[in-house]
Structure 1
Amino acid sequence: MSASRHPALFATDPELASFVAAEENLQAETLRLIPSENYVSAAVLEASGTVLQNKYSEGYPGRRYYEGQQNIDKVEALAVERAKGLFGVDHANVQPYSGSPANLAVYLAFAEPGDTVMGMALPMGGHLTHGWGVSATGSWFRGVQYGVRPETGLIDYDAVRELALTERPKIIFCGGTALPRTIDFAAFASIAEEAGSVLVADVAHIAGLIAGGAHPSPAGHVDVISTTTHKTLRGPRGAMLMCREEHAKAIDKAVFPGLQGGPHNQTTAGIAVALHEAAQPAFTAYAHAVVANAKALAEALLARGFDLVSGGTDNHLILMDLTSRDVPGKVAAKALDRAGIVVNYNTVPFDPRKPFDPSGIRIGTPSLTSRGLGVGQMGQVAEWIARAVEAAAKSDEAALATIRAEVASLLSTYPAPGLPLS
């Protein structure tokens, strides 16, 4: 990597610039299988680093607290219209700084401190902000959780309904961070209507799949859609809230002035670019390829004797239980990292181990799909994972080094978007 790629940064702060260059090389040379990560395009990178960084823009288009917003209003309005068109919603707010603040805005819009809220339990695949105890949402609200069936690893919708009718939560969240199967939004909508609850679909992980038609959409079923804008959507690190028109005022007020001040306009611009890209036919092909790759990888892992939660996947994500391999998830994840395969250790449903030292690892196919790898390479990926887990069990660092060289060799023929190496 040469200084020509970031000349001003290298000239001003060569130490920091060296860290950025090292990260660019790391992302180029390793197989990134964390399902919440991806590669943004060069266009998204450029939009995220523009002079829009210099503007304060508290308020909304046409209703700002600062002057000089002629261009900023156009940028935000463009992002909003693209979000509405892509996801088929009445209203969109593109200002939330990230997914957790977006979810907190939902609470501010529809609940009071102490109210009952309901979401999937974190160890079962849910998210911290769905009322889990260690989160502010579990401290300020009374969180009740649903889970999955032990024998299938699938959401038990009968149990969800029973819990909802018993607890009558103000808000029900569907969606999570480690759910390898399709979410039945219609089933959740029926439950929420019967319980008198506001239904929120947190689609942060699958937003790109929804935009590309590779996963059913919650639009028309739920009151609010919450999502980050990176992950499968391949945008910058930001978030959006989308909703029915009747909830637009409450959502906007909760975001600003309820929780935050001026939006990050450079991020809004990156979101607008990503939404434009997601409306193209190539993105539809990418979204379906993400799912096809995940299914092929799951089948290859099953063929090698691995235990997968729910027996496979319908989306971009695979949750692997390593209990039968007698290798803890954390040990396996760190060994895979040394082998050039980046995953994260993760709890599995009914995990007897502690969250910081769990039984599983979480694997996803968005990043490798963005690089152009296809179903034909998934057998090789599964073989590397199997060899690395075996090497972890034997503390065989030489084997991990061999895998790392093989990974780098393959990836040299699949350049990463936004990362042209000099």
Structure 2
Amino acid sequence: MGGGRFYGPDFELLEERDPELARVLLDEVERVRGGVQLIASENLTSPAVLAALGSALSDKYAEGYPGNRYYGGCEVVDRAERLAVRRARELFGADHANVQPHSGSSANLAAYAALLQPGDRMLAMALQHGGHLTHGSRANFSGRWFDVVSYGVRRDTELIDYDEVRDLALRHQPKVIVCGATSYPRLIDFGVLRGIADEVGAWLLADAAHPMGLMAAGVIPSAVPYADVVTFTTHKTLRGPRGGAILCTDELAGRIDRAVFPFTQGGPMMHAVAAKAVAFGEAMRPEFAAYARQVIVNARALCDALAAEGMRPVTGGTDTHLALLDVRGLGVTGAEAESRCAAAGITLNRSAIPYDPEPPGVTSGVRVGTPCVTTQGFGPADLEKVGALIGRAVREPEKIAEVGDEVRTLPVIRQAYLRQY
């Protein structure tokens, strides 16, 4: 079967020692190679990031921070973490960075722990309007531990109603205002939210998990100059390893660091920290800015193509890497659209739309994103074809096998699975 950079280092050894698990890895690579990946929260890491993830740094326990660990032998991994912190601060223009959170949810937990006490009030975007589970869902710790007031989008424009946000903030006096979303395709006005936070004496926390790579590249406005704390993931548009990180002002640095360790986490995953350093370094290169610009161009092309197929773009379009589509015009639910596309080799996810009449497991919409396909080399013309194929798969389930054949023979699919950056 062979190793190579597609499969990670020492793959031949894995095949020899554990062929059953090796088969799983091969099957996942072939799944990605053979289809179109449109999950907005996914991307494809570079071979350099994968090399760091598969390194000897995985073996080192390193509770604490560089120069102040609770274990010996950390002088080497200290260098990796210092490098990641320095690059994160430089890349995003931040006073302070903590690169230890295991995920975006872990980063949010730590940020809340630094700014709030159980029972304190926060104002955040409602899950059904595009927010995240950690923004106050009752199924999540955030909704159980804190008094959450939710804001949403207008019915007529499906855009954030900043007047409503201000009114709610004045009425409820939250300690923290959370901004950021997982299925909101438009830019967020961080300056307006900063003004609202100042007016009521609240901290402003920006969850930039989705657009952080676009912010790093300078192709959309950054939350960093406006927010007291910015949490984000290092995968998605940043194209790094799965993980989280936190940026904050100097004023909050100590509180954030203590909230990550020892309050919410023990030892950091040093191989992931090293891989984050690699990703931050890659994001500083001019070619990453070109990539980020292409992600947005591709998202708009795909959004337009799906609109031509009868799927209504929520908010009328997109400014970022993702689009949210109302599929009711095709007489299907989001779950049905997701299933039919999956059968044709096109991976996307069902998603609630604002004021959705369907339950969360069904939904009236789908969410698509272009980070993965842009990494693979797709351009606008390719995404127009993909949009047409999605339309056919959803409208004509009896022809899904035929659509799947066309997906697998797309010229860009036959190109290299992953490009070196």
TM-score with structure 2 setting the length = 0.96
CA RMSD of superposed structures (Å): 1.2
SS of 2:135's partner is coil
2:229 equivalent to 1:238: no
Q: In the alignment, which residue of structure 2 is the partner of 1:326?
A: 331
Cα deviation for residue 322 of structure 1 reads 1.0
Q: In the alignment, which residue of structure 2 is the partner of 1:357?
A: 362
Determine if contact 2:314/2:353 at 8 Å carries over to the other structure. yes
- What is the rounded CA distance, in whole Å, between the counterparts of 2:88 and 2:230 in structure 1? 11
- What is the rounded CA distance, in whole Å, between the counterparts of 1:78 and 1:193 in structure 2? 34
Cα deviation for residue 415 of structure 1 reads 1.9
Determine if contact 1:373/1:414 at 8 Å carries over to the other structure. no
AA matched with 1:42: P
- What is the rounded CA distance, in whole Å, between the counterparts of 1:154 and 1:37 in structure 2? 24
AA matched with 2:190: F
- What is the rounded CA distance, in whole Å, between the counterparts of 1:188 and 1:289 in structure 2? 28
- What is the rounded CA distance, in whole Å, between the counterparts of 1:140 and 1:239 in structure 2? 21
Determine if contact 2:310/2:329 at 8 Å carries over to the other structure. no
- What is the rounded CA distance, in whole Å, between the counterparts of 1:59 and 1:418 in structure 2? 36
AA matched with 1:88: G
- What is the rounded CA distance, in whole Å, between the counterparts of 2:171 and 2:413 in structure 1? 56
SS of 1:320's partner is strand
Cα deviation for residue 233 of structure 1 reads 0.3
Q: 1:211 aligns with which of 212, 216, 219?
A: 216
Cα deviation for residue 299 of structure 1 reads 1.7
- What is the rounded CA distance, in whole Å, between the counterparts of 1:3 and 1:246 in structure 2? 48
- What is the rounded CA distance, in whole Å, between the counterparts of 1:74 and 1:2 in structure 2? 34
Q: In the alignment, which residue of structure 1 is the partner of 2:405?
A: 405
Number of equivalent positions = 414
- What is the rounded CA distance, in whole Å, between the counterparts of 1:172 and 1:130 in structure 2? 10
- What is the rounded CA distance, in whole Å, between the counterparts of 2:381 and 2:106 in structure 1? 39
- What is the rounded CA distance, in whole Å, between the counterparts of 1:80 and 1:138 in structure 2? 31
AA matched with 1:404: G
Q: Alpha-carbon deviations, 1:55-109, whole Å to 9, x = none?
A: 0000001111111111101000000000000000000000001111110101110
- What is the rounded CA distance, in whole Å, between the counterparts of 2:321 and 2:2 in structure 1? 34
Cα deviation for residue 404 of structure 1 reads 1.5
Q: In the alignment, which residue of structure 2 is the partner of 1:65?
A: 70
Determine if contact 2:310/2:330 at 8 Å carries over to the other structure. no
Q: Alpha-carbon deviations, 1:317-358, whole Å to 9, x = none?
A: 110111121101101101101101000011110001000111
Q: In the alignment, which residue of structure 2 is the partner of 1:141?
A: 146
Q: Alpha-carbon deviations, 1:98-157, whole Å to 9, x = none?
A: 111110101110111111111100000000101121111100111110000011110000
Q: In the alignment, which residue of structure 1 is the partner of 2:291?
A: 286
Determine if contact 2:36/2:407 at 8 Å carries over to the other structure. yes
- What is the rounded CA distance, in whole Å, between the counterparts of 1:276 and 1:35 in structure 2? 23
Q: Alpha-carbon deviations, 1:222-273, whole Å to 9, x = none?
A: 1000001000000001100000000000000000001111100000011000
Q: In the alignment, which residue of structure 1 is the partner of 2:193?
A: 188
- What is the rounded CA distance, in whole Å, between the counterparts of 1:277 and 1:3 in structure 2? 24
- What is the rounded CA distance, in whole Å, between the counterparts of 1:186 and 1:333 in structure 2? 36
1:418 to 1:20, Cα distance in 2 relative to 1, 3 A: farther
Q: Alpha-carbon deviations, 1:1-31, whole Å to 9, x = none?
A: 4467511211121111111110010011110
Q: In the alignment, which residue of structure 1 is the partner of 2:87?
A: 82
- What is the rounded CA distance, in whole Å, between the counterparts of 2:243 and 2:157 in structure 1? 34
Determine if contact 1:44/1:235 at 8 Å carries over to the other structure. yes
- Higher mean C-alpha displacement, 293-302 vs 1-10: 1-10
- What is the rounded CA distance, in whole Å, between the counterparts of 2:230 and 2:360 in structure 1? 28
- What is the rounded CA distance, in whole Å, between the counterparts of 1:236 and 1:288 in structure 2? 21
- What is the rounded CA distance, in whole Å, between the counterparts of 2:22 and 2:66 in structure 1? 36
- What is the rounded CA distance, in whole Å, between the counterparts of 1:382 and 1:46 in structure 2? 34
Structure 1: stretches of 5+ with no match in the other structure: none
- What is the rounded CA distance, in whole Å, between the counterparts of 2:415 and 2:160 in structure 1? 37
Q: Aligned ranges for residues 262-411 of structure 1 at < 5 Å? A: 262-392=267-397, 396=398, 399-410=399-410, 411=412
Q: In the alignment, which residue of structure 2 is the partner of 1:43?
A: 48
- What is the rounded CA distance, in whole Å, between the counterparts of 2:287 and 2:34 in structure 1? 24
Cα deviation for residue 305 of structure 1 reads 2.6
SS of 1:416's partner is coil
AA matched with 1:408: R
Cα deviation for residue 418 of structure 1 reads 6.9
Determine if contact 1:39/1:418 at 8 Å carries over to the other structure. no
Q: In the alignment, which residue of structure 2 is the partner of 1:197?
A: 202
SS of 2:133's partner is coil
- What is the rounded CA distance, in whole Å, between the counterparts of 1:10 and 1:217 in structure 2? 44
Cα deviation for residue 303 of structure 1 reads 2.5
Q: 1:114 aligns with which of 100, 113, 119?
A: 119
- What is the rounded CA distance, in whole Å, between the counterparts of 1:304 and 1:400 in structure 2? 16
Determine if contact 1:3/1:10 at 8 Å carries over to the other structure. no
Q: 2:158 aligns with which of 150, 153, 156?
A: 153
- What is the rounded CA distance, in whole Å, between the counterparts of 1:103 and 1:290 in structure 2? 26
TM-score with structure 1 setting the length = 0.96
AA matched with 1:266: H
Determine if contact 2:311/2:328 at 8 Å carries over to the other structure. no
Determine if contact 2:333/2:364 at 8 Å carries over to the other structure. yes
Q: Alpha-carbon deviations, 1:341-396, whole Å to 9, x = none?
A: 0000111100010001111110011111001111121210110111011123xxx1
